[in-house]
Structure 1
Amino acid sequence: MKEELKKKIDGFFIQLFEMLDGINNDQQEEEALQYVEWMLKKAQLRYKEKNKKHHFPVLYRRIYWAHLGVNVGHEEDKHRPVLIIRSEKNSPLCAVAPLTTQRLNDGFWYHIDLEGLNNTALVEHFCVISKDRIDRPLRKRGDFATVSNKDMDKILTEIKRLYTTSPALRK
């Protein structure tokens, strides 16, 4: 690494350490630790595991474990299951709906409790991620976990409702 670049990076780390040094409660300390751990994991994903070749296909309707990180506010984060909404074979990206690890049964229209699985699709957090964030398939009884056609139709309907600009679909 060039010396000038190393000095810039060191300067950012000094600023980060100064900011974290001002933390004075247990909750913020735990959040800071999670944030720093995520920085290391993200660097591994970006520089060591970039464009990794999966030993499994990343396919529509299947569920995988993905590293979504430590995010800001109410964004979904952590290592969690995601449902593939769109994936192209030669693309490094895919569209996903994050899933809970426990069924919510909360009745919100944008939360779809999945048939035969103990997960809820969080449609409001639909996003595009790098396939490098995906580390393994979720398995159910030894096979790849998938959602039913009925659940997929519900999820796609809610994505359209949430993200469309057509007044007819927002009702």
Structure 2
Amino acid sequence: MPVYSFYIFDRHKCIYSKHWLPPPPERPVPPSSATQPPAPSSRASHPPAPSDATSAANDAKLIFGAVFSLRNMARKLGGEDDAFISYRTGAYKLHYYETPANLRFVMLTDTASLSMRNVMHQIYINLWVEYVVKNPLAPVEHKGGAGVRNELFELGLDQFIRGLM
């Protein structure tokens, strides 16, 4: 059961993200035919490719927006007692867990995986609370784009997820 990535969101933004699987390989560019002359300013006509950091930030924003919208829709259609837990596409399954402190844990896994709600609860109790909340040097609020920078949390999370794969 592969785990693709894991995100932690606070009220407004992504404060932590981790990716385990490498990005898919680039598609080979087909060779150009001999009848077409090369464009003299082809580099200037294409926008620069986004960096990995920009792409990861955009992915986090898209995931936050999708989770926010689906959670609100589930509450409006099913009432306050209904909760958004997961959704599945053809390529991945998104799992959602909201903590009592209003942190939102999101995990992207393989489509065949079972519910990861208990796994994310264990991450919250055994890793987040132990290494981040109980750390007196860790900031309570992550203002100005500062995310979680806790080596023990990152190592524990990596070992825990690799133990699941």
TM-score by length of 2: 0.25
RCO greater where, 1 or 2, for CA within 8 Å and sep 6 or more? 2
Structure with a larger share of its residues in strand: 1
TM-score by length of 1: 0.25
